[in-house]
Structure 1
Amino acid sequence: MQKLTKKVSEPFPFHSKITDWPVAERPREKLMHLGAASLSDAELLAILIQTGVGKATAVDLAKTVLREYRSLDRLSARSFRDLRQFKGLGNAKSTLLIAAFELGRRAASRGDSTKLRISSPEDVVKQYQPLMRDLQQEIFKVLLLDSANHLRGDETISLGILNSALVHPREVFRRAILEPAASIILLHNHPSGNPEPSSEDIQVTRQLCEAGKIMGIPVHDHIIIAQDSYASFAERGLL
């Protein structure tokens, strides 16, 4: 069966190759002389894409991809498979784009996270929502806190739908014991966009809270992140 790919729009007249453009209009040269802020979204993407396809330039290809997803936010959430459907985006270019977006999310979210003091669920959401709100599968993390509630780090425990088989107390508390952490916060996302806890979420949380009491490492909260909202077990009295 022939693979279906999205077509790339034709380039602008007389600009069939970026190397034929005036130097001041070429994305790479603009970035070097004027800084990254002077470039459009399409021009920045074109630098990552590097080359076009057929008669279309890298800028044309970038504009086609942006037009398909309508915003950088939507584009940044796309999977490798989504990007590969565009003619001209092979394995190397698709993985490069995904890696660049992930680095941007991490840089925006983390800052100097080792000095962050967690005093409310909003502190956690501000730190992790940019990283997790667009993910297309559930990720369960444990956040490690010291005795003053400073964030010492985090660890991803499982990928996929949350259940007691995937999230075992041994795995959740292993890093907390080694760190050592004084307490932990549980964190996962709902790709559906609905942050309401499921019955499985509540069951897993209760099991981990009981394990934390036994080991002397209390669970301060379990926070579920969605696209533009969140749910805190502590705020709802579910711990």
Structure 2
Amino acid sequence: MDQLPSSFSESDDPSDSGAPRSTASFARTQVSQWPDGERPWQKLLSVGPSALSDAEVLSVLIGRGTRLSKEIVTSVDIGRELLRRFETPAGISDRPVLELTRIPGIGKQTAARLTAAIELGRRIDSGRAGSRVQVCNPEDVAGVYGPLMRDLKSEIFKIVFLNTANVIIGDETVSEGGLSAAIVEPRAIFRSAIGRNAAAIIALHNHPSGNPEPSRADVKITRQIASAGEVMGIPLHDHLIIAGTSHTSLAERGVFS
């Protein structure tokens, strides 16, 4: 097992500037042996999660530390190492589960727990945590799906299914591609739409490059889906491109009528 780097210390956590300095004195003892009020989970319960540094929040999710080369490594230490390697919590969210297991002290279960917590945050941020959402404009759609798609490293193409009141009744990823483009089959889209009894659909895909401008391929597939929707009686309301925190509506661009 790899040893922790010698730079693995209090200063490596960029979020710790506001953390109690007394925590540093306990950096090499088990968290369970820290005085009351210093343990991250106790601090969370007593004063709330906003009082925790990024490393301490990660520590609560990590749960237990480990021992490497006869040295105790606390869960806070492991949280700091995550931040040292990936810089920010957002940087951690971009990483596959197996990459997180390369951090000393993080096994598959801990990596899965971290990833699940990040995904839950995305879903809460998107407003889709267990509720059905009505969408009336491109901003509504981007507000729901932007948090779920903006950090993806490969391009995916989703179809959102709507009822007659423009309430989202489901969605489906119909294609996954590389960073360049995704291949979309209109027949598969409307097969799913009919199966879900959708009254209308919205298409959306992400641009991992961060460029919100539609490509010629984007325009072409949009017109193909819109034409097929007219024939099927299931109109395409819009096609959104999610690019980082921005988005582009092809309906607003007049790409299809």
Gaps of 5+ in 1: none
- 2:241 is aligned with 1:191: no
SS in 2 for 1:211: helix
| Matched-pair identity in % | 45
Gaps of 5+ in 2: 11-23
Q: Which position in structure 2 is the counterpart of 1:45? A: 58
Q: Which position in structure 2 is the counterpart of 1:237? A: 254
Q: What is the correspondence of 1:65-104 to structure 2 with a 5 Å cutoff?
A: 65-104=82-121
Q: Which position in structure 1 is the counterpart of 2:192? A: 175
TM-score by length of 2: 0.81
- 2:147 is aligned with 1:130: yes
Q: How many angstroms does 1:10 deviate by?
A: 4.7
Distance 1:158 1:136 in 2: 14
Q: How many angstroms does 1:56 deviate by?
A: 2.1
Q: Is contact 1:220-1:234 (8 Å) kept?
A: yes
Q: In the superposition, relative to structure 1, how do residues 113 and 154 fare at CA in structure 2: closer, same or farther (>3 Å)?
A: farther
Q: How many angstroms does 1:123 deviate by?
A: 1.0
The number of residues matched between the two structures is 235
Q: In the superposition, relative to structure 1, how do residues 14 and 97 fare at CA in structure 2: closer, same or farther (>3 Å)?
A: closer
Aligned partner of 1:7 among 5, 29, 40: 5
Q: In the superposition, relative to structure 1, how do residues 129 and 31 fare at CA in structure 2: closer, same or farther (>3 Å)?
A: same
Q: How many angstroms does 1:25 deviate by?
A: 0.8
Aligned partner of 1:224 among 241, 247, 255: 241
Runs of 4+ aligned residues of structure 1 deviating over 6 Å after TM superposition are 3-6
Q: Which position in structure 1 is the counterpart of 2:21? A: none
Q: Is contact 1:46-1:62 (8 Å) kept?
A: yes
Q: What is the correspondence of 1:8-23 to structure 2 with a 5 Å cutoff?
A: 9-10=8-9, 12-15=24-27, 16-23=29-36
Distance 2:196 2:131 in 1: 13
Q: In the superposition, relative to structure 1, how do residues 74 and 112 fare at CA in structure 2: closer, same or farther (>3 Å)?
A: closer
SS in 2 for 1:149: coil
SS in 2 for 1:24: coil
Q: Is contact 1:77-1:135 (8 Å) kept?
A: yes
Distance 1:227 1:19 in 2: 40
Distance 2:165 2:239 in 1: 18
SS in 2 for 1:155: strand
Distance 1:199 1:81 in 2: 36
Q: Is contact 1:146-1:181 (8 Å) kept?
A: yes
SS in 1 for 2:37: helix
Distance 1:36 1:114 in 2: 25
